[in-house]
Amino acid sequence: MIGLPQQIGRYRGLVEDWDAFVEALHRPVPTDLRWNSLAVERNRFEESLQRQGISWAHPSGSPDLYRVEGMAGPGLTLAYNLGWYQPQGYTSTLPPLILSPQPGSRVLDLCAAPGGKTSQLAALMGGTGLIVANDISHQRISILAANLERLGVLNTLICQYRGENFPERFAFDYVLVDAPCSGQGTFRVDGGTFRPDAADALEFLSALQLRLLRKALQVVRPGGRVLYSTCSYAPEEDEAVVSAALEEGTADVLPIDLDLPGQPGLTEWAGATYLPEVAHTLRFWPHHTDSWGFYCALLRRTG
């Protein structure tokens, strides 16, 4: 555990091949670009990469994600400013893919800034339907708006509410809750937003996350889908939150059918037990994805 904070070391018993996990945390994060179908055709985008001598691969289950070699400064290119792509880590593209909103649907992105997932939802919907992109922070909303404009997203309404207080006047077909979290999954030696002191806030964060998930299940229509995600390894922020929401009897968990390198969610941790259905959720570890750590749960409103 040399070079790892205590908050990461606590998961040693959960991780298959701990040495590979630690080694992944000490590698630079690959450069991942999500092709933006709203702005450019795929072949034209690929031709632009080829002209620059840039090679790529598609990580499992994310066909619009290009893991590129030979690109310096992905936010400094003409193609970036034209909105042809969005720098977006592989695991960050998984929540919209799992939620899979259909064209013409009504979608709420409850914690939307800075907009990578919002713009991906718009692309998956072919620019049709309506997305409501909400965030609590005025500063982050400014970044969200700038990204959506650059990426040519035209079907999105931006609003500013505390997520847990979002109005219940409308029913959505899909809701994405990419919840604020401790960011443990973003810990890699040369990057990420993980703060070691966030461990002291797990109780506060998990309570907030449960309120956000409850709100999502209140504003999605019966039979509608909710995708809950975090970039945290902490079961307190992941399975515990989903299990608590399920216990309220208004939702069930849907299996995630995509071919993804995830591991089933935990049903127990540190003396706590979670509902068996939580095993249908997925954890993503960096040594399996060479990306950030992530957690995803797909729920359906039943009540």
Query: Residue 227 — φ and ψ, nearest 5°?
Result: -110, 120
Q: What is residue 195's predicted lDDT score, i.e. its pLDDT?
A: 65
Give the pair of three-digit tokens for residue 258.
């995509």
Is residue 201 within 8 A of residue 182, CB to CB? The reply is yes
Given 111, 181, 231, 296, the catalytic residue:
231
pLDDT tens figures, 87-119 = 999 999 999 999 999 999 999 999 999 999 999
Task: Kindly state whether residue 278 falls inside one of the protein's structural domains.
Answer: yes
Task: Kindly state whether residue 1 falls inside one of the protein's structural domains.
Answer: no
How many structural domains are present in the chain?
1
Angle subtended at Cα 256 by Cα 280 and Cα 136, rounded to the nearest 5 degrees = 90
Q: What is residue 1's predicted lDDT score, i.e. its pLDDT?
A: 43
pLDDT tens figures, 200-247 = 789 999 999 999 999 999 999 999 999 999 999 999 999 999 999 999
Helix (H) or strand (E) holding 47: helix 42-51
**CATH assignment of the domain containing 120:** 3.40.50.150
Q: What is residue 220's predicted lDDT score, i.e. its pLDDT?
A: 98
Task: Kindly state whether residue 134 falls inside one of the protein's structural domains.
Answer: yes
Q: What is residue 7's predicted lDDT score, i.e. its pLDDT?
A: 85
Task: Kindly state whether residue 35 falls inside one of the protein's structural domains.
Answer: no
d(CA 122, CA 143): 17
Q: Tell me the residue length of the chain.
A: 303
Q: Give per-10-residue mean pLDDT for the chain (303 aa).
A: 76 94 93 98 97 94 94 92 97 98 98 98 98 95 98 98 96 98 85 63 94 98 98 97 97 96 97 98 97 97 92
d(CA 134, CA 92): 18
Of 183, 220, 199, nearest to 298 by C-alpha is 220
Task: Kindly state whether residue 53 falls inside one of the protein's structural domains.
Answer: no
Of 146, 81, 89, 94, nearest to 124 by C-alpha is 94
Of 288, 225, 281, nearest to 251 by C-alpha is 225
Task: Kindly state whether residue 138 falls inside one of the protein's structural domains.
Answer: yes
Task: Kindly state whether residue 6 falls inside one of the protein's structural domains.
Answer: no
pTM of the model: 0.96
Domain region containing 196: 90-301
Tell me, yes or no, if 231 is annotated catalytic.
Answer: yes
Q: What is residue 171's predicted lDDT score, i.e. its pLDDT?
A: 97
Task: Kindly state whether residue 18 falls inside one of the protein's structural domains.
Answer: no
